[in-house]
């Protein structure tokens, strides 16, 4: 979905605006100041709710955006990495990010060994991975959590990720292998209300009672919807803090946001390559950036003002590929655009280049962080 007019070009920071207007398109520009503000806001909310009972640690979810410049920026800010593959680990390591945490159902025994050797904190996603963790060592577990049935395979109501604490193989692998659980990971996918955070608190408190040596609890990410209203997010964290009653103090609370902190601070500069008048009065405007290739599940805003001499027309804004549904927006009232005009879109900070589809061998946009 693309909407218009929510942000004015003049609202953007000078350095961001200049980079968007001067860089050859298509180019994605990330606003480092805005991203820093998002991380700091999250930290303030958590520290206010948790006080001195639980230290806070921030990781960045590399799957959301693996741009090397952004990862180096995170490293300089003291933000660690959450990775789900060895290429993501290699990117985070090359950027100097620390600490690095990893969990994913597809990690093989050899990959887990590589990660552990490099000092990565690996949370076993299943009992087979747990068996791959060395005997007589401290381990992390990703917990299987309840989800809305519509979000799960066969409407089971539980995540397909994580270990069922009632699995008899779990106790055997822990006790017979002398493996001590010191870290829990509980990601519930989409946190949008205080109730979601309270439910997450109940999950981790219940699990922590089974493993008295736990020193870290990873709450995952998935808080983009929650942070659409920062004041409500602050209230939700207060509710979360209250729901941790009974949890021993000193346990570090880890979060690993991705889209939440970068989505709206990523701007795409794209140029008009063609503008045609249709018989029905609408204009068909083709950009040099493809929505179908770049945007799979995020909402995008069209930045105003747009180029043009004041005359407006109903416009279909489309991408350059041969795919019929490569459409940014339809029937929008906007200034008449001509070839060479620049269009700025907001909301392309996460799951864009990291998930870009391939078509026509078109290159990914250039990326800059300012």
pLDDT in tens, 19-54: 999 999 899 999 999 999 999 999 999 999 999 999
DSSP output for 324-354: TT-EEEEEEEEEPP-TT-EEEEE--SSSSGG
Whether the CB-CB separation of 317 and 328 falls below 8 Å is answered with yes
Residues with Cβ within 8 Å of residue 81, at least 6 apart in sequence: 59, 60, 62, 71, 74, 88, 89, 92, 95, 97, 98, 99, 100, 101
pLDDT given at position 147: 80
Closest CA to 298 of 12, 81, 65: 65
Bridge partners for 60 per DSSP? 81
Q: Is residue 82 within 8 Å of residue 101, measured between CB atoms? A: yes
Does residue 126 contact residue 103 with C-beta atoms inside 8 Å? no
At residue 44, the pLDDT reads 98
Which CA distances in Å does 245 have to 19, 51, 166, 170, 201? Answer: 48, 13, 24, 27, 9
State the pLDDT at residue 307: 85
Please list the pLDDT of the chain residue by residue as tens digits (370 residues): 566 656 899 999 999 999 999 999 899 999 999 999 999 999 999 999 999 999 999 999 999 999 999 999 999 999 999 999 999 999 999 999 999 999 999 999 999 999 999 999 999 999 999 999 999 999 999 999 988 666 656 667 888 999 999 999 999 999 999 999 999 999 988 899 999 999 999 999 999 999 999 999 999 999 999 999 999 999 999 999 999 998 999 999 999 999 999 999 999 999 999 999 999 989 999 999 999 999 988 889 999 888 876 789 999 999 999 999 999 999 999 999 999 999 999 999 999 999 999 999 999 999 999 9
* Residue 2: predicted pLDDT: 65
pLDDT given at position 6: 67
Q: How far apart are alpha carbons 222 and 255 in whole angstroms?
A: 10
Q: Distance (Å, rounded) from C-alpha 48 to C-alpha 241?
A: 9
Hey, what are 157's tokens? 């109501």
Q: How many residues does the chain have?
A: 370
Helix (H) or strand (E) holding 175: helix 168-175
**Pairwise CA distance, residues 129 & 124, whole Å:** 5
pLDDT at 305 (0 to 100): 83
pLDDT for 150: 64
- The DSSP bridge pattern shows strands 300-304 and 266-277 to be unpaired
Domains of the chain: 2-31+263-369 (2.40.37.10), 32-261 (3.20.20.10)
Task: State the DSSP code for 362.
Answer: P
Distance (Å, whole) CA 103 – CA 209: 22
Q: How far apart are CA 194 and CA 200, in angstroms?
A: 10
Contact 123, 141 (CB under 8 A): yes
Which residue is listed with tokens 């690996």?
122
Tell me if 28 sits within 8 A of 272, measured CB to CB. Answer: no
Q: Determine if residue 250 is left, alpha or beta; phi over 0 gives left, psi from -120 to 50 gives alpha, anything else beta.
A: left
pLDDT at 152: 59
pTM above 0.85, yes or no: yes
* Pairing label, strands 180-185, 138-142: parallel
């Amino acid at each position: 979905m693309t909407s218009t007019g929510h942000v004015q070009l003049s609202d953007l920071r000078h350095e961001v605006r200049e980079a968007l207007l001067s860089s050859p398109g298509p180019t994605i520009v990330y606003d480092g100041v805005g991203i820093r503000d998002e991380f700091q806001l999250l930290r303030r909310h958590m520290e206010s709710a948790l006080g001195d009972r639980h230290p806070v640690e921030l990781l960045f979810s590399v799957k959301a955006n693996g741009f090397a410049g952004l990862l180096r920026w995170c490293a300089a800010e003291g933000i660690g990495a959450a990775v789900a593959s060895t290429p993501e680990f290699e990117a985070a390591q090359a950027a100097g990010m620390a600490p690095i945490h990893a969990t994913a159902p597809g990690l093989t025994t050899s990959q887990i060994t590589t990660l552990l050797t490099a000092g990565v904190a690996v949370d076993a996603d299943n009992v087979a991975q747990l068996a791959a963790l060395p005997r007589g060592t401290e381990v992390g577990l990703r917990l299987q959590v309840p989800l809305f049935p519509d979000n799960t395979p066969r409407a089971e109501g539980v995540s397909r990720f994580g270990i069922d604490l009632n699995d008899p193989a779990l106790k055997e692998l822990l006790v017979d292998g002398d493996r001590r659980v010191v870290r829990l990971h509980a990601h519930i996918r989409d946190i949008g209300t205080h109730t979601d955070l309270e439910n997450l608190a109940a999950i981790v408190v219940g699990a922590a009672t089974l493993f008295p040596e736990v020193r870290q609890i990873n709450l995952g990410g998935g808080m983009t919807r929650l942070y659409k209203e920062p004041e409500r997010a602050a209230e939700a964290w207060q509710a979360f803090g209250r729901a941790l009653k009974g949890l021993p103090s000193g346990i570090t609370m880890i979060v690993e946001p991705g889209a939440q902190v970068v989505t709206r601070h990523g701007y795409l500069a794209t140029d008009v390559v063609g503008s045609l008048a249709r018989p029905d009065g609408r204009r068909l405007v083709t950009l040099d950036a493809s929505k179908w290739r770049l945007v799979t599940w995020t909402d995008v805003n069209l930045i105003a003002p747009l180029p043009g001499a004041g005359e407006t027309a109903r416009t279909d804004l489309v991408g350059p590929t041969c795919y019929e549904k490569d459409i940014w927006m339809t029937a929008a009232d906007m200034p008449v655009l001509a070839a060479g005009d620049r269009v700025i879109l907001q909301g392309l900070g996460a799951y864009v280049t990291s998930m870009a589809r391939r078509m026509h061998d078109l290159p990914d946009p250039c990326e800059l962080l300012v």
